[in-house]
Structure 1
Amino acid sequence: MSGAQPTLDDVAREASVSRSTASRAINGGERVSPEAQAAVDDAVARLGYSPNRAARSLVTRRTDSIALVVPEPDTLVLTDPFLTGVIRGVSDGLVGADLQLVLLLNRVDEGPGRLARYLASGHVDGAIVASHHRRDQLESALARAQLPAVFVGRPFGDATHHYVDVDNVAGARLATQRLIDSGRRRIGTITGPLDMPAGIDRLQGWRDTLREHGLRDDAVVECDFTASGGAAAASRLLDAHPDLDGIFAASDLMAEGVLRTLHSRGARVPDDVALVGFDDLGIAQHTSPRLTTVHNPVIRTTMAATAALLALLAGAPVPTTPQIFTPTLIEGESA
């Protein structure tokens, strides 16, 4: 071969089959006899042939790439441990799979719809969607495009989409019950964005638990899952409800901001105000006092979403019922 890269014609000649048979054998084996398939496989191994991806995609109509869709600005992706956990989970889940991962983020200067149009244009074979908002238009776009997709977090309205999630309602109930068990009776919450399923579900768990105990559920401020947002939200919450003796923050990043606000006001944690967060992705171990939080198994969850997408792409059966992971309470010193 004089050092030249072997071609499809070389493989066909080595296997004593036609070029079209060699191509079909390399790209899935449709209408290829077992004998011809074995001959082509042997020729590929002997020659060290590597298919040209561009040419292969014309035959298979596949791009050999999947998208991880995170409709958030890049500044948030780089600072939020949940989102970095999602990226790690997908990367771990793709070990051994010959697929390219394309990361799709929102740009600050653009409106909704670009990501949906990209996914519908045939650039990828499938998608994993995380941190989605109602405004993103992703669910309807994926359904129209019939693109295999798995959501990390429940979709809003389309029951046909596959998804995996942590039980956010149960996790919020754990956090709120921990505050009640510590003797707190005036408990507020700082929610995540209420155009996201996680924000909605964690608010519901907090509210249901308070109502079951006959406690007021009017101390609510919406936030954006950031530390700076949590600090500002805590100020608004405490200004409106100065009698609070407990706060459930719907993420540890926001809880970190809440701690800063409480310390700046001279409030002792947990003596004056107890605090519970949500996620347990590293922040809780480094706060003072150490944060009581709810463990969110984001890497396991995202690996499960990746496995489900790989099964869909392989044509394997995937249950339509969602995979729901159980959260656990992680004791710290803040409650």
Structure 2
Amino acid sequence: MRAPNHLNALRAFEAVGRHLSYVAAAEELHVTPAAIGQMIRGLEETLNMELFHRSSSGASRLVLTDAARAAMPELQAGFELLAQAVERLKASKARITVTVTVPPALADKWFLHRVERFQRKYPSYDLRIDLSLKLVDFTAERVDAGIRYGTGQWPELAATFLMRDEFFPVCSPALLEGEHPLRTPADLNHHPLIHDISMRTAPAFPTWRSWVQKTGNAGVVDCDRGLQINDSAAAIHTAISGNGVALGRTCLVERDIAEGRLVRPFPEAQPCDLAYYVVHRKDNGGEPAVAAFKAWLLEEANTR
């Protein structure tokens, strides 16, 4: 008997043995009772043994032989393992959606142009990206992982250091020329300063005032005037357009500098205690999709 037919016959035998009825087994397997009977007879011929006999009691019904009854638990366990294997194969082909949250500015200037590399490395994972400015509730909003900027202390989340920025002035190359070219920090007084106030409540977040003080330019630059913008990416785009000088952050401006849209008029930089962290719920760090996203982010940060 060929293997597929043999498997079908064993399935018919298991169903009949469970129901002790050709009719019930046929309904479960969506075949006719005659087909069930034919498969059982074929299996008995192949095994050269009887699997069922009729009860001699008043009601004529099927009864498993002793040998068939002894084999039934292992046969049923085998079909259960087979079903699990089939489901595992189906799951391996299914696409898995990973919901992640990323600060909008980092997404704009660093994360989104790298996503294609994640998709190429993990083709079975689709990213659903949340760019909300607020700190999302990972459990309530069913978020798997993400990136947060801060001290690394969020009680409900596991956090792994990703990367840290330095802060320094950036501007359009056009501001290095013209009537008041940027040559020294004092020349900043001839151009609007662009203030990123997106984290004004975080004392550790560098500002023009802290940069001026820490780089020895106190009293040289009037750091209170200019434009105030509550979005880091928008502040950078304003600098690119030539409408002022922004205090740039390494990971948000490195690509614009490399591609010539921004320049650093002065080398002085200010470090920052805040940093970016990969975060996820404390109960899902072992999930393959979360582990893959985390590993990919760490690799990207290490190859900046």
* TM-score, length of structure 1 as denominator length: 0.40
- Which structure is richer in relative contact order (CA contacts within 8 A, separation 6 or more)? 2
**Larger Rg belongs to:** 2
